[in-house]
Amino acid sequence: MDAITQIACNARQAANILQTISTAQKSKALNLIHSKLASAKPDILLANKTDKDLALEQVQAGKLSSSLYKRLDLEGPGKFETMLQGILDIDQLEDPAGKVQAATKLDNGLELYRVSCPVGVLLVIFEARPEVVVNIAALAIKSGNAAILKGGKESFHTCSAISKAIREALEDAVLGDEEADSEAETKEGSKKAIQLQDAVQIVESRQDIDGLLKQDKYIDLVIPRGSNALVKYIQWNTRIPVLGHADGLCSTYVAASAKLDLAKKVVVDAKTTYPAACNSTETLLVHSSHLDTDFFQQLAQILVENNVTLKCDARSLENLNASALFKEHSDKIQASNDEDYDTEFLELTLAVKVVDSVEAAMEHINEHGSKHTDAILTESEKEAKQFMAGVDAAGVYWNASTRFADGFRYGFGAEVGVSTNKTHARGPVGLEGLVIYKYQLHGNGHASADYGAGEGKRPYLHEKIAVQEKETLGELSRKRQRLD
């Protein structure tokens, strides 16, 4: 077995253990990681200094951007502590695994339970920031998944020092955890401790990634967090499911009945609060009726005053050309070309297009959008419903800024990523995106041949068993025993 396959195989073994451990054991592991990292702080900052010194040389040689250099730093005020606090915050979240999602009585004594469980092995690829290792390790362990991590090469020493501390913590998490009933159980415990260390592994090179992308036997989900180019490369080079998004091409449609003040507030927020974010609006669609009043000109004015450059189609350009605005800000009002409607600008540039109906707006979005988040601003509930049903995107918003598309803003407590996939998990993804389910069937010697139509055969009962949200199988059993 080559080195890369061994990494993937070890991760799978760790995942097989992780799927069996309790919420309390996960909590113990997270708290141990927290304390090991706290005590390893001097070593980690020393490693961070090595990375920073190497990076500084690169910056001085013009080979690395100073913003990337900044993102490497773990020494800045409060940075290390914030990273550590993140572990405790994740520990406090609801365990997404082990929850009964549905239960059915197939027959007397034959009961089917759909129970959430970890996906298995995650491969997470991200760019420079070393604190991501800690964040992902905590998310993975909380959800019961093993993780293989590849950070930016600039942060390698820091990531390795962090990973060493996590490894030690994981070993301690299992050892001496349960009272062993026998020598065999003690032996089994030591074996588990050794295997569990591989629950979080770091790999270094791009070549490692290429090798790991082929390990679909062992790896269940790839999560790229980084540039469009990184995500696209991964999507095109693996058979393993990829959770993420390459583009965030969000649109906001200002319908005929939209209120001007509302539109000004929402569109400025959607475009200007963080232009480099994937949930920023890149295309503004405006109903043609707004060209007949000063609505569009006023909306354009506040955008331009907020330093936004408008790339306008012929109708909107003509409308603005005739206005006082154009005289003052001609540099910010430009003609668009076709590609502008397929471009994620990630800066204060906005493509503008005039449309004659909500259907035309929807058609534009379904053709040019990236299925991330699209908004309609309208006073018509009917039209809003039509838009939210007909636009094929992870987020469909009514009278709100596309910038709300975020796991923390949604209240998930953590964000694994934002997915523009059409299966598994869509939109901002919290811990729930790292679990799937198994069917447990509990019988008492039941055989399929006893069921069906015909003499001596029994029908299935298929009676629904009432389940509370987030109930575990243990809780459900105890509740049902009390009811009996």
Question: 404 with 428: CB under 8 angstroms?
Answer: no
Q: Which is nearer to a copy of itself, 261 or 292 (CB)?
A: 261
Closest C-alpha to 75, from 41, 55, 45? 45
Alpha carbons 147 and 203: distance in angstroms, whole number: 11
Residue 433 beta carbon to a copy of itself: minimum distance, rounded to whole angstroms: 9
Tokens 């200094």 found at:
49
Q: Which is nearer to a copy of itself, 405 or 431 (CB)?
A: 405
Q: Which is nearer to a copy of itself, 2 or 261 (CB)?
A: 261
Residue 367 beta carbon to a copy of itself: minimum distance, rounded to whole angstroms: 9
Q: Which is nearer to a copy of itself, 150 or 403 (CB)?
A: 403
Question: 55 with 180: CB under 8 angstroms?
Answer: no
Q: How far is CA 42 from CA 17, 112, 158, 309, 322, in A?
A: 31, 52, 11, 47, 64
Residue 29 beta carbon to a copy of itself: minimum distance, rounded to whole angstroms: 17
Q: What angle do CA 245, 249, 253 make, to 5 degrees?
A: 140
Residue 430 beta carbon to a copy of itself: minimum distance, rounded to whole angstroms: 11
Burial of 53 per CB tally in 10 Å (0-12, 13-18, 19+) = exposed
Residue 62 beta carbon to a copy of itself: minimum distance, rounded to whole angstroms: 35
Closest C-alpha to 310, from 264, 351, 269, 253? 351
Residue 383 beta carbon to a copy of itself: minimum distance, rounded to whole angstroms: 13
Residue 359 beta carbon to a copy of itself: minimum distance, rounded to whole angstroms: 6
Q: Which is nearer to a copy of itself, 179 or 331 (CB)?
A: 179
Residue 408 beta carbon to a copy of itself: minimum distance, rounded to whole angstroms: 8
Q: Which is nearer to a copy of itself, 296 or 397 (CB)?
A: 397
Question: 74 with 44: CB under 8 angstroms?
Answer: yes
Over the Cα atoms of the chain, what is R_g? 27
Q: Which is nearer to a copy of itself, 175 or 436 (CB)?
A: 436
Question: 270 with 409: CB under 8 angstroms?
Answer: no
Residue 274 beta carbon to a copy of itself: minimum distance, rounded to whole angstroms: 9
Q: Which is nearer to a copy of itself, 409 or 480 (CB)?
A: 409
Taking residue 472's Cβ as centre, other Cβ atoms within 10 Å add up to 18
**DSSP string computed for 104-170:** EEEETTEEEEEEEEE--EEEEEE-S-THHHHHHHHHHHHHT-EEEEE--GGGHHHHHHHHHHHHHHH
Q: Which is nearer to a copy of itself, 348 or 388 (CB)?
A: 388
